[in-house]
Amino acid sequence: MSANETRQQIVEAADRLFYERGFEATSFADIARELGLSRGNFYYHFKTKDEILDAVIRHRLETTRDMLDAWERDIRSPAERIRSFFRILIANRTRIMAHGCPVGTLCNELAKLDHAAKADAARLFALFRSWLSGQFSALGRAADADALALHVLMRSQGVATLATAFHDERFIRREVADLEAWLHDQCPDASLPPPRRSP
């Protein structure tokens, strides 16, 4: 196995375990066991746990950028792109109800630990923020695009947290429908499908 392949496998396993169990609660042994590696070998690829965290955050930044680029390329309407963002909540509902939002929960954990990487983790939010802001600008809301982007992020985070606490899939679907209705109110010219409203 080449160094890069093993390294990549470590990052992907750490990414999953940091999400499912949290950063602190995941040990080197956990990641190594997952891959059938010895702990010793581990240190050939990463000297410290913080190095793995940095690599995981970079990996998440890359995959997130790829996802947003794909939406930018494949979806014509900015409103439909924003809807794709809403729909993450439904597509990932099972994992969200079990482990929360990968971005929000990591930022919260690193904030409590006052960890050096907490600002890096917040860049994941910043990535969504600037992308969403761009979509709202394209919808003619350049003046308050950033505030609208933060508002959307805020609601997605709230839905994730409550969905985890209450394990309630209907709540997720209701709030996504409400987000779509909200989007329609914000940008009535964007030719969205007719929204269902609740509450």
Partner DNA sequence: GTCTATACGAAGATAGAC
Partner DNA sequence: GTCTATCTTCGTATAGAC
- Interaction site with its own copies (CB under 8 A): 20-22, 24-25, 98-100, 104-105, 107-109, 111-113, 121-122, 125-126, 144, 147-148, 150-151, 153-159, 161-162, 164-166, 171, 174-175, 178, 198-199
CB nearer to its own copies: pick between 14 and 37: 14
Q: How far is the CB of 103 from its own copies (least distance, A)?
A: 8
Binding residue for DNA, selected from 11, 16, 29, 67, defined by CB under 7 A: 29
CA 107 from centroid of its chain's CA atoms: 11
Binding residue for DNA, selected from 17, 18, 45, 175, defined by CB under 7 A: 45
Provide the 10 A C-beta neighbour count for residue 83: 19
| Angle, CA of 167, 172 and 177, to the nearest 5° | 165
Written as six digits, the tokens of 100 are: 């929360």
Alpha helices, H only, the chain: 3-21, 28-35, 39-45, 49-74, 78-91, 93-99, 102-113, 118-138, 145-166, 169-186
User: Cα separation of 85 and 22, whole Å?
Assistant: 24
Binding residue for DNA, selected from 43, 116, 143, 147, defined by CB under 7 A: 43
User: Applying CB under 7 A, does 194 fall inside the site for DNA?
Assistant: no
CB nearer to its own copies: pick between 140 and 158: 158
Q: Which residues bind DNA (CB under 7 A)?
A: 1-3, 6, 26-30, 36-41, 43-45, 47-50
